[in-house]
Amino acid sequence: MSESAIRTPEAVAPDEFRSLMSGFPTGVSVVSATDPQGVPRGMTCSSVCSVSVEPPVLLVCLRDESPTLDTVLRSGSFTVNLLHAGARECAELFASGNPHRFKLVPWECDSLAAGPHLVADAHTVADCEVVLTQRMGDHVTVYGEVRRVTGRTEREPLLYGLRRFHSWPPLKTERGTDE
């Protein structure tokens, strides 16, 4: 093939990429951490993925230059608050950039916590230690070894897809009635 016949792919426009990813529904979390002065930081994150079971590792993708990422990197730890279906307002608050977000939601941070636990909005919480980071574009992938899991209620998870928040539809029994 001649050199003139080789084509390089054109970059996908940001709106086209967002449209692609909106068709891939995902769970919603708030990643949080506490800086050395005890100031809580947190941001809504739908980029959470399990990596391995042995050791238990997950990854989160955080926006570069965010105060939350800076705190995670400086502290070496973070918390993943998996939000339940009734926590849409919390997800929107932590996506808004409101500097007073932690004054508007109940949270706890005991001596074993890697960051604030959103006690009213999370159905499950994972405290993680940073084991690896990788910068890509305008985000940083942070790998965390899970040190503790708390909460684990049976509440349905909050989902995000098609640029809207959702929850699981009610389960149907074999007779077709809601459980």
Residue 160 CB coordination number (10 Å): 20
Distance CA 95, CA 113 (A): 22
**Sole residue written with tokens 């506490």:** 34
Distance CA 48, CA 27 (A): 8
Of residues 74 and 22, the one with the higher pLDDT is 74
Q: Any idea which of 23-27, 51-55, 128-132, 142-146 has the lowest mean pLDDT?
A: 23-27
Ramachandran area for residue 162 (φ above 0: left; ψ -120 to 50: alpha; else beta):
left
Closest among 128, 39, 40 to 78, alpha carbons compared: 128
Give the mean pLDDT of the chain.
89
Closest among 161, 42, 160, 33 to 101, alpha carbons compared: 42
Q: Any idea which of 4-8, 157-161, 164-168 has the lowest mean pLDDT?
A: 4-8
- pLDDT for 18 equals 79
The model's pLDDT over 63-99, given as tens digits with 9 standing for 90+, comes to 999 999 999 999 999 999 999 999 999 999 999 989 9
**Contacts (Cβ under 8 Å, ≥6 apart) of 41:** 32, 33, 34, 35, 67, 68, 70, 71, 72, 115
SS3 117: strand
Q: Does residue 7 have a pLDDT over 70?
A: no
- pLDDT for 49 equals 93
Q: Are 29 and 46 in contact (CB under 8 A)?
A: yes
The model's pLDDT over 112-162, given as tens digits with 9 standing for 90+, comes to 999 999 999 999 999 999 999 999 999 999 999 999 999 888 889 999 988
Q: Does residue 21 have a pLDDT over 60?
A: yes
- In which band, very low, low, confident or very high, does the pLDDT at 4 lie, cut at 50, 70 and 90? low
Distance CA 125, CA 68 (A): 17
- pLDDT for 62 equals 97
Q: What would the CATH number be for the domain defined by 26-160?
A: 2.30.110.10
Distance CA 35, CA 47 (A): 22
Q: Does residue 178 have a pLDDT over 70?
A: no
- Specify the DSSP class assigned to residue 15: H
Q: Which two tokens stand for residue 165?
A: 């928040």
The number of residues in the chain equals 179
